[in-house]
């Protein structure tokens, strides 16, 4: 059975990016804005992103219109009833995700696959909220979804092999590279990446160097496209905090625990690029390293 209609639940930066990606591939896509209210701003965000591609002559105006026609943004979960696959991309909280999947199982058909875009939470635990656990898998895209090539596929002990094969082929069909990962906190990328960012924050806390020096050292010394503090700001410090917390709660290794400065920034709602302040001040161009 093909995957022709896909639902995305959550229209933050990640969810909306996945929705745009799929619409660009000609897939009928239904994106659900979970916070309610007017959806026109979400359409405007996608329109602006696509217009940049038109301006760079990577899309024609006609292609842009076809993409927008393939995308529906709504606040009504029941619009997902005809989907072949629904991907959840809401806040990284186990209880809220489980409640959502419980609702989705009631709305969608038994043949519809349910997937989570979680970056660290256990898929098996998420699946415990649904009756048919074989339906739920992990599909972890990376930000920005329209650009980043990797998708982690995370099956559970309940997942049939043919479902993994089906998703593997589908991920390739949408122009991404799939890797199949064991269901363990952090999967591959964030299991390795989160401790790296957390260590960089601790080094900054201890006065090893300022933010610009730490980032420059890793970019020029290791050929990384972004330094660890820049990257944490880009991902969102709240997300980094949740990832570190999840890893620490699973493995109980002290170095995985969120550093005090990271917690303070999250409490202050200084979350990086999306809030305008993090380890850098984004009100200037280029962004200015802060003294914290």
Q: Which residues are catalytic?
A: 119, 140, 152, 190
- Residue bearing tokens 């898929």: 123
Residue 67, both tokens: 């993409």
Task: For residue 7, count CB atoms less than 10 angstroms from its CB and return exposed for 0-12, middle for 13-18, buried for 19 or more.
Answer: buried
Q: What is the CA radius of gyration of the chain?
A: 19
Name the helix (H) or strand (E) containing 178.
Answer: strand 177-180
Q: Is 269 left (phi over 0), alpha (psi -120 to 50) or beta?
A: left
Which contacts of 255-259 are long-range, i.e. CB under 8 A and separated by 24 or more positions? Answer: 255/195, 255/198, 255/199, 256/194, 256/195, 256/198, 257/198, 258/198, 259/198, 259/201, 259/202, 259/205
Please state, in angstroms and rounded to a whole number, the distance separating the CA atoms of residues 288 and 265. 16
Q: Among residues 7, 6, 2, 190, which one has the least CA distance to residue 92?
A: 190
Cβ neighbour number for residue 66 with a 10 Å cutoff = 13
Please state, in angstroms and rounded to a whole number, the distance separating the CA atoms of residues 222 and 179. 24
Please state, in angstroms and rounded to a whole number, the distance separating the CA atoms of residues 289 and 270. 14
Beta bridge partners of 178: 151
């Amino acid at each position: 059975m093909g995957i022709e209609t896909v639902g995305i639940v959550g229209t933050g930066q990640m969810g909306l990016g996945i929705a745009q990606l799929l619409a660009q591939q000609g897939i009928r896509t239904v994106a659900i804005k979970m916070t309610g209210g007017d959806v026109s701003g979400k359409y405007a965000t996608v329109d602006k992103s696509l217009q940049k591609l038109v301006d760079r002559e990577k899309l024609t105006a006609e292609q842009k219109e076809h993409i927008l026609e393939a995308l529906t943004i709504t606040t009504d979960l029941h619009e997902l009833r005809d989907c072949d696959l629904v991907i959840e991309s809401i806040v990284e909280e186990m209880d809220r995700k489980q409640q959502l999947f419980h609702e989705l199982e009631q709305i969608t058909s038994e043949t519809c696959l349910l997937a989570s875009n979680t970056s660290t939470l256990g898929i098996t635990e998420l699946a415990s909220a649904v009756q048919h656990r074989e339906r739920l898998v992990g599909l972890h895209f990376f930000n920005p979804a329209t650009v980043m090539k990797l998708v982690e596929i995370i099956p559970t002990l309940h997942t049939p092999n043919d479902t993994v094969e089906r998703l593997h082929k589908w991920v390739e069909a949408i122009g991404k590279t799939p890797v199949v990962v064991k269901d363990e906190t952090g999967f591959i990328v964030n299991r390795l990446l989160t401790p790296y960012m957390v260590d960089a924050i601790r080094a900054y806390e201890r006065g090893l160097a300022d933010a610009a020096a730490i980032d420059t050292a890793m970019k020029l010394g290791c050929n990384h496209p972004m330094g660890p503090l820049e990257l944490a700001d880009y991902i969102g410090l709240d997300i980094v905090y949740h990832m570190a917390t999840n890893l620490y709660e699973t493995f109980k290794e002290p170095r995985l625990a969120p550093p005090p400065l990271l917690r303070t920034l999250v409490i202050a709602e200084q979350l990086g690029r999306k809030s305008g302040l993090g380890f850098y001040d984004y009100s200037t161009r280029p962004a200015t390293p802060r003294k914290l």
